[in-house]
Structure 1
Amino acid sequence: MLNTVYQLKRPRQFEVAFKEMEIDDRQVIVRPTRLSICHADQRYYQGARAEEILRQKLPMALIHEGIGKVIYDPTGTFEIGTEVVMIPNRPVEKDDIIAENYLRSSKFCASSMDGFLQEYVQAVPDRFVRLPQGINPTVAAYTELVSVSFHAINRFLRFSHERRDVIGVWGDGNLGYITSLLLKKMLPDSKIYIFGVTENKLSDFTFADGTYCVNEIPADMQIDHAFECVGGGAASKAINQIIDYIHPEGTISILGVSEDPAPINTRMVLEKGLRIFGSSRSGRSDYEGLLQLYEEHPEVVSYLENIMGAEVEVRDVKDITRAFEMDIHKLMGKTVMIWNE
């Protein structure tokens, strides 16, 4: 079976490649329908990764957030036409201690193998999760991003002490919005404060208990724990500001991705006895738990509709390029490509 794969050949240049897809009795074939553009995709598209990395990984199909419909399933796991969320993490082994998304042997779509920007996606059944009925398909398209926050919060619940009266979230972008929304739903007795730089963005956090500009934080502000959702060049400033305002023995969850090392105030980390942990990607159990949360609390999906950005119909390379260029200039929100429908 011939598959059409849309690969990034070099920054800002896509090309069509045709690859043979071997059909066997173990793997499900899904036709992608909606694909969401992530910051990681943009770093490749804009050539913002190191030249050595670009030479090593390109050409490669981008996109690791998306949903699709099952068109072939010899395992009998899904009925034909079933809508599913596609899981980009592809483990090749199991470990009793290390989760699938942290195993160094695992591959990841649009990073160490072709992503979802192709006509068909093939994988074993557990790399797809049935999408509950009634969920906005555009919101469902960026389930992967939301699952990363869900994963980080569950790890936080394992690592942090039980005094969780006040939790701060640094970052007023998509990741900060998602993380604080899930925190408010999963920890309803905690006060969730958001710290950002743009008043217009902060005004969207209507579910939060308070929002603050990072340059106007009250001097008496104190928090029990914090999530850093900034990344990039501002990550260091955000982490150090958290260290200033957090109570001793608090826990700091780092979620923002930075290309360069971020210097932090280790002296105060030691003096306060802080616990800092990082989270990256997610696994099947996170998708299952998140989709269950969607079913039990449909208002979460309604809030996530607030970060819907442009919806772009995509049929060819020209349309893909247009979607990526539109995504560059957005202020906030997720750009979703309506693909193959």
Structure 2
Amino acid sequence: MINTVYRLIAPKSIRADFVDLKLDEERIIIRPTYLSICAADQRYYTGSRGRVVMKQKLPMALIHEAVGEVVYDPKGELPVGTHVVMIPNTPNEKDDIIKENYLRSSQFRASGFDGFMQNVVSMRRDLVIPFDYEPEVGVLLELMSVGMNAVSTFKKHAHDRKDAIGIWGNGNVGFVTALILRKEFPDAKIYVFGVEEHKNRYFSFADDTFIINDIPEDLQLDHAFECVGGRGSEAAISQIIDYIKPQGTINLMGVSENPVPINTRMVLEKGLQLLGNSRSNYDDFKKSVDMMANNKDVREYLSTIVSEMVVVNTIDDMIRAFEDDTYNDFKTVMKWEI
């Protein structure tokens, strides 16, 4: 079966390639319906990953956040038309200790092999989860699973006092992480810290929000999540160390291209734990699917961070979506009609 894959071949240049589609009993054929643009996709699209990395990775189809409809299931377990979320992390082995999203042998779509910008996608059966609510919100399941991964790690390692939790970063990752924390720890005070006041207003479920240069001096936190990334990580981590109580956890989620200095003296003095979090696995997706299914308010909150929906029929539409995304506060979603 011939499939069309829309690959980035150079910064801001996308080409349609025709490839053979792999078919077997353990693979389900899925037509993507909604695709969400991530900051990682933008770094490839704009070429900001650097010349060496770009040369290694391209040509490659972008997008690792996507939902779709079943076109063909050789075993007949999923009816045609079933809404499914596609898991981008592809493990090649199992480990009793290390989570599959941290195994060096795992592959990740749109970071080394083709992402979901395709006419149809051949997915391993164990990387597909059905859901039965709005796909235009379900497209945020991958983003939510990343927050779920971090919160699960937090639960495992943090001490029992969780009266006050801070989230630095009022973007997409900060939003879903704060929302999950709200549901998982309903009695905790959830505080959000950002640099843009208008974005703080989206966090209506939080107990309070602050601009980072106007934080009360007497505020103290038991634990914190850093969801900033990039050049802002250093200032965010520094502030967290100042406001966190001894033996708290600092959950790192922001991706930075360059090394970030950390005040290790105060990390040692306070006995803090730094927990690294990246990507997600099947269990994180399943928890996210269930949380959305069981909480209509979660879906309603998530719908507010879809800044723009771009209907895609051509490669020009794809390029417009990526260009528009640089100006949007939150998520740009492509309605995939190509």
Q: Structure 2 length as normaliser, TM-score?
A: 0.98
Distance 1:50 1:150 in 2: 30
1:315: which partner in 2? 313
2:16: which partner in 1? 16
Q: In structure 2, give the amino acid aligned to 1:301.
A: R
| 1:85 corresponds to 2:82 | no
Q: 1:298 aligns with which of 276, 293, 296?
A: 296
1:338: which partner in 2? 335
Secondary structure at the residue paired with 1:149? helix
Quote the RMSD (CA, aligned, Å): 1.0
Per-residue CA shift, 1:66-103, capped at 9, x if unaligned? 11111111133311211100110111111101111111
1:253: which partner in 2? 251
1:298 CA drift (Å): 1.3
1:239 CA drift (Å): 0.4
Q: In structure 1, give the amino acid aligned to 2:172.
A: N
Give unmatched runs, 5+ long, in structure 2: none
1:329 CA drift (Å): 1.5
1:205 CA drift (Å): 1.1
1:282 CA drift (Å): 0.5
Secondary structure at the residue paired with 1:293? helix
2:54: which partner in 1? 54
Please identify runs of 4+ aligned residues in structure 1 that moved more than 3 A. Answer: none
Q: Structure 1 length as normaliser, TM-score?
A: 0.97
1:221 CA drift (Å): 1.0
Contact 2:22–2:122 (8 Å) recurs in 1: no
Distance 1:75 1:99 in 2: 28
Distance 1:141 1:83 in 2: 10
> Could you tell me the percent identity over the aligned residues?
51
| 1:149 corresponds to 2:147 | yes
Distance 1:255 1:130 in 2: 27
Per-residue CA shift, 1:185-237, capped at 9, x if unaligned? 11001000111111111122111111111101111111000000000101011
Between Structure 1 and Structure 2, how many residues are aligned?
338
1:155 CA drift (Å): 0.8
Distance 2:26 2:327 in 1: 42
| 1:107 corresponds to 2:104 | no
Secondary structure at the residue paired with 1:311? strand
1:316 CA drift (Å): 1.6
| 1:122 corresponds to 2:119 | no
Distance 1:227 1:5 in 2: 37
Q: In structure 1, give the amino acid aligned to 2:40.
A: A
Q: In structure 2, give the amino acid aligned to 1:74.
A: P
Secondary structure at the residue paired with 2:96? coil
2:69: which partner in 1? 69
1:290 CA drift (Å): 1.1
2:3: which partner in 1? 3
2:44: which partner in 1? 44
Distance 1:263 1:77 in 2: 50
Contact 1:27–1:75 (8 Å) recurs in 2: no
Distance 2:22 2:246 in 1: 56
Contact 1:65–1:141 (8 Å) recurs in 2: yes
Distance 1:287 1:26 in 2: 20
Q: 2:182 aligns with which of 181, 184, 196?
A: 184
1:262 CA drift (Å): 0.5
Give unmatched runs, 5+ long, in structure 1: none
Q: 1:324 aligns with which of 312, 322, 325?
A: 322
1:26 CA drift (Å): 2.0
Which residues of 2 match residues 256-275 of structure 1 at below 5 A? 256-275=254-273
Q: Which deviates more, 160-169 or 290-299?
A: 290-299
Secondary structure at the residue paired with 2:304? helix
1:52 CA drift (Å): 0.5
Distance 1:64 1:18 in 2: 20
Per-residue CA shift, 1:122-176, capped at 9, x if unaligned? 1211111001x2x232111121011100110011000100000000000111111
Contact 2:83–2:135 (8 Å) recurs in 1: no
Secondary structure at the residue paired with 2:18? strand
Q: In structure 2, give the amino acid aligned to 1:159.
A: H
